[in-house]
Amino acid sequence: MYNRRQFIGFGASAFIAASGRVFGAESPSNRVRLAIVGCHERGRGQQVMKSAMRVPGVDIACVCDVDSRAMDWAAGNVFASSGIAPEKVRDFRKVLEDPSIDGVILETPDHWHAWGAVMAMRAGKAVYVEKPCAFCPREGEILLETQRRTGAVLQVGSQRRSSRSYADAVAFLRSGAIGVICFFN
């Protein structure tokens, strides 16, 4: 089992490993089948996808993106890594309808994070979603309400928030080295 610090540090890989325990993937006959939603080769999504592919007992069963080039790139990487060709789906709703998909990793644009996670939890899927998890406080409340109502596994990425470089930058700003920091609305 992971402690809180390890869980946050491992991000999606820890989510996948933890959901593997939830779904019983440790037995030889049962594997966790995930969908990567948002597959662009630049950015955080490709890092999370590559981490997920290294977790034992996890299959990337589906890649989903509205951009066919991104979908083809992701499917090619999954096949090269695992020898298994994932299904390619353009419509996220089709992923949610697939009973063989245990969870989704949402690497969509920010404005889709909360609503994609809500839809996935309502469909009975475990969810790993990148930050920001919501655009406004109400979206965050709806996300939590949905998780509590469905009991779905939900993990929000926070890897960069706890990195040493961010902590050093905050300490530098708070030291007064650049003067008083003001916020304007």
Segment 37-69, tens digit of pLDDT: 998 877 677 788 888 888 888 999 999 999 999
CA distance 135 to 159: 19
Q: What percent of the chain clears pLDDT 70, i.e. is strictly above it?
A: 80
* CATH code that applies to domain 4-174: 3.40.50.720
Helix, strand or coil, per DSSP, at residue 89: strand
CA distance 102 to 16: 10
Name the residue ranges covered by the structural domains of the chain: 4-174
CA distance 151 to 74: 30
**Is residue 102 pLDDT above 90, yes or no?**
yes
- Give the pLDDT confidence score for residue 41 in this predicted structure: 78
**Is residue 106 pLDDT above 80, yes or no?**
yes
Taking CA atoms, 5 is separated from 19, 52, 79, 164, 170, in Å, by 17, 19, 32, 14, 20
Least confidently predicted of 19-28, 77-86, 93-102, 164-173: 19-28
- Give the pLDDT confidence score for residue 159 in this predicted structure: 67
- Give the pLDDT confidence score for residue 9 in this predicted structure: 42
- Give the pLDDT confidence score for residue 7 in this predicted structure: 40
